[in-house]
Amino acid sequence: MTKIKEHPTERLRCWNEGKNLRKSYYEDYLEAPEKGGIRWAGGAWAFSSIPAGLGDDVYCITGEPYGATIAFFKDFAAQCHDAVEGAGFPRTLCAYMRNYWGAILLDKFILTDGTVVEGAPIPDFIWQDHICCSHGKWYEVVRWLEKQKKKKEIPMYCVDVSVGYAGPNEKIEDYKVNYIIQQLNDGIDWLEKTTGREYNDKLLCDAVWNEMKATSLWAEICSLNKAVPAPLDEKSMYSLYVMGTLMKHKSECVAFYETLRDEIRDRVKRGIAATPYERFRVITDTQPPWGFLKVFREMEKYGVVSLGSLYTFGLIGMWELKADGTWTPKTLPEKRPQTREEALRAIVEWTLHKPEWAHFYRPELKTQMIKNIVDQWNVDAVLLHYNRGCEGLSVHIAENRLGLLEAGVPVFPFEGNMGDEREFDFAGTMARLTAFFESMGLKKLIE
């Protein structure tokens, strides 16, 4: 019997730094009034660098990561499901959105260690953009729920970004860019009137530059996973990419990603692996079932490592296509923005090339991006999550499966829900996944 090579592994040195950064993010939002600050709520894809111009004491909570945090703690998630369904909302809606609403209905707030705090913090305003069928409506319902419960009217501003969805190197027409820039300019006026604060363009320019650096850095980190053995696994990446969904506009995020990038470079140089046995490399496509991340540990027993996903690579990472077809981290502009107009144009043009935005309505782009990762990261198979909890990222998934199969890529499809544990069959999925691995010639190495 051929002996399987065992690679050296070690814990990330910066792991606790990232853990504490996430912890502080939620605590700061909860305690903002005590610090004399203000807080806003919105999506992880909202233009978060714009409210940063109101001051250094502005704290936000981004809805999708918070919905995922709830999903991870299944007992609290079950309470949220009961509350939101008891209020008459159907299970077919976005799972993150339902988790978020459920926490409001319960009037509770959960922290990253699972501690549940009585009294859900109320944002001073909502700052959102509308890309899928749920985003804008999500926070309209939040406003309605808060008004019903606490008689508080929350001001809301939502940016329409439906003109976008460009591929990595596609030209975006000026009228599309200008349309969004005008909305952001109007939004700045709205922020001043809503908060009574004077807007600071220098803080805006700093935040925009931070966001561009952070998202390019994350792509660089993902690129390092081309190495064999892979220095990172997908389960660990979920705890690392999330900083970009929470605070990509902050210098703390940039500093952490620089530290992480340097450590991953060192791991590649020394041959440090994410998992001790790597003999089969896979990726996934969208959000995982957050309550069942142990799936990734089960795969490792077969010597299978998941290098990441289009979701982990493209939700925060920004990419460009080179002339030879190589997918590489997006190059920063030659100089940082100096004025409001430069900052707004820079962040709009940068954001409209976000990979995750493109595949909402461009299934051929999603298939091609996954194929690029398969080819350049030496991937052996793709796991596609038919995710009932996110219509936007699953809408064309059957077409993506066919496109990958036609390209000769082995595909394992599975059904589930990223935010509702009731819709994921762990035992059944593992039985099918085991059969898939065995069809690939893999046998279990570890019991």
The rounded distance, in Å, linking the Cα atoms of 406 and 38 is 52
Look at residue 199 in the predicted model and tell me its pLDDT.
98
**Number of structural domains the chain divides into:** 1
Look at residue 292 in the predicted model and tell me its pLDDT.
94
Within-domain flag for 66:
yes
Within-domain flag for 170:
yes
Look at residue 324 in the predicted model and tell me its pLDDT.
84
Which residues are within 8 A (CB) of 445 and not within 5 positions of it... i.e. 6 or more apart? 4, 277, 301, 302, 303
Within-domain flag for 10:
no
CB 303 within 8 A of CB 443: no
Tokens standing for residue 32: 């903002």
Look at residue 172 in the predicted model and tell me its pLDDT.
87
DSSP-based three-state secondary structure for 280? strand
Within-domain flag for 198:
yes
pTM of the model: 0.96
- What distances in angstroms separate CA 197 from CA 35, 159, 200, one per listed residue? 16, 21, 9
Within-domain flag for 127:
yes
Tokens standing for residue 408: 């000769």
The residue range of the domain holding 304 is 15-439
Look at residue 124 in the predicted model and tell me its pLDDT.
97
Digitized pLDDT (tens) for each residue of the chain, 447 residues in all = 457 789 999 999 999 999 999 999 999 999 999 999 999 999 999 999 999 999 999 999 999 999 999 999 999 999 999 999 999 999 999 999 999 999 999 999 999 999 999 999 999 999 999 988 788 899 999 999 999 887 789 999 999 998 867 777 788 899 999 999 999 999 999 999 999 999 999 999 999 999 999 999 999 999 999 999 999 999 999 999 999 999 999 999 999 999 999 999 999 999 999 999 999 999 999 999 999 999 999 999 999 999 999 999 999 999 998 888 889 999 999 999 999 999 999 999 999 988 888 777 788 889 999 999 999 999 999 999 999 999 888 888 999 999 999 999 999 999 999 999 999 999 999 999 999 999 999 999 977
Tell me which DSSP letter residue 133 carries. Answer: S
The rounded distance, in Å, linking the Cα atoms of 370 and 272 is 26
CB 122 within 8 A of CB 93: no
| Angle in degrees, 0-180, between the axes of helices 15-31 and 234-247, rounded to the nearest 10 | 40
The rounded distance, in Å, linking the Cα atoms of 290 and 282 is 18
Tell me which DSSP letter residue 279 carries. Answer: S
Amino acid at 445: L
Within-domain flag for 5:
no
Within-domain flag for 110:
yes
Within-domain flag for 313:
yes
CB 175 within 8 A of CB 147: no
Side-chain-side CA neighbours of 416 within 13 Å: the count stands at 26
Nearest to 305 by CA among 246, 219, 228, 196: 228
Chain mean position to CA 42:
14
In this structure, the number of other CB atoms found within 10 A of the CB of residue 30 comes to: 18
